[in-house]
Amino acid sequence: MTGLQYGKTLAVHPTPIPGVVLFDLPVHGDNRGWFKENWQREKMAAAGLPDFGPVQNNISFNESAGTTRGIHAEPWDKFISVATGRVFGAWVDLREGPSFGSVFTAVLDASTAIFIPRGVGNAFQTLDNGTAYSYLVNAHWSPAAQYTFLNLADETVNIPWPIPLADAELSDKDLTHPRLAGVSPMQDRKTLVLGANGQLGRALRARYDADPRVEFATRTELDLAGPDPFRDTDFSGYHTVINAAAYTSVDAAETPAGRAAAWAVNVSAVVGLARKCTEHQITLVHVSSDYVFDGTVEIHDEDEPFSPLGVYGQSKAAGDAVAATVPRHYVVRTSWVIGEGNNFVATMAKLAAAGVQPGVVNDQFGRLTFTEDLAAGIEHLLATRPAYGSYNLSNAGPVQSWADIAADVYELLGHPRSHITGVPAADYFAGKQTAPRPEHSTFNLKKIESTGYVLPPAREQLRIRLLGFTTEL
């Protein structure tokens, strides 16, 4: 193997094409031949290679120097290396975006390898007889897969082939591919939002509705309570799923029918979703609840052990545990959600308008979470990609009881705070068939704030919602 360099240190070299990474591989040789670790997940992930989950290994053997193949962009990621011989490799970004048409070339031998993301065109020309070109891919080949092609002789990218194409061995098919001006860029995979008609789903729709790369599924379109809800859903076209769907009828979950429905949506469906996300290397954003805790701890950290009190909380805790098995996951834990539709603030506003002076629970404590801020926090996590795991996400500000918040609503709408009477939960729920509720639902927000997302105070957002201006209470 002419010119093969032994004893390199595993090293990473960035390239002009975003996501394309060139590697130096350690090769150990003597008079008998050579040995290398062609793919070593732990070491290469530590060196900066995405943990892209390869599922198939392909080898192209080429009899003669000058064999030229490409330029093909495929809908999966590839880790490319050479088993024997040398190739001149050429890669062209054929993805939609500002780097479309960018080019990188390099000579690969057994001591080098390269990672090529989905949508980057791959081509090579053998420089030695008997060259074997190997690549790992993270999706199984399918006849339905959509490819993007570019002509090897395209004048715009102007690849400097060592052996002129007129003297090279080419396939007739590769000669017919379009020039760059005629190439339709490969579209990025999309985001799927589940539960698009819920309070959070509507906020996510408002945030992403103008983005053609985001799709929305309502319960009518994808009913998570069904026996196999994802049977007919093709997940290969998605890179992210936001699960904003949940069974949230806390009290009804304590009934036989409600218990079955809660577990179907909050657990069984999440099992199927986690399986699909793992299989397709999808990032799963799963929205959770303060009800996974019993509320005896006043401020909840992300690593607090589960201690749910009722069926709803138990089903959400089980769903969290399942979602956390997905390699790329964000469990977003929130509380006291206020969005478009029926919620505590809307109820208090209606009572105030009707002149009602209600009793409201005064010994359960937490902070409101407005759906627009929750949706923005999810967008922030997906844009900045901090470490995968659980993140608490609620609005900031002082801890309040439900009675405190009700009094704020009344005051902001021009009614006396004294129209709200604080009532202990034990008295408020006496004689009613209700689920147990956590006493304390306040989250520690330091982890999400450390990523650069600081949520506004809940009382400020309440004022904006009710009055349309931001003067402090």
Question: Active-site residue among 72, 380, 388, 419?
Answer: 72
Rounded CA gap, 320 and 292, in Å? Answer: 9
Cβ pair 317, 364 in contact under 8 A: no
Reply yes or no on whether 135 is catalytic.
yes
Tokens of 377: 């926090």
Tokens of 358: 């209600």
Count the alpha carbons within 13 Å of 289 in the hemisphere toward its beta carbon: 30
Cβ pair 223, 269 in contact under 8 A: no
The torsion angles phi and psi of 205, rounded to 5 degrees, stand at -65, -40
Rounded CA gap, 238 and 222, in Å? Answer: 16
Reply yes or no on whether 72 is catalytic.
yes
Which residue type is seen at 184? Answer: S
242 closest CA partner among 268, 214, 223, 267: 214
Element (H, E) at 365: strand 365-366
Question: Can you list the alpha helix ranges (DSSP code H) found in 154-198?
Answer: 172-175
Q: In what order do the strands lie in the sheet with 238-243?
A: 214-217, 190-194, 238-243, 283-289, 329-334, 389-392
Tokens of 378: 């999810």
Rounded CA gap, 440 and 425, in Å? Answer: 12
Question: Active-site residue among 135, 391, 428, 453?
Answer: 135
104 closest CA partner among 115, 346, 96: 115
> Which active-site residues does the annotation give?
72, 135
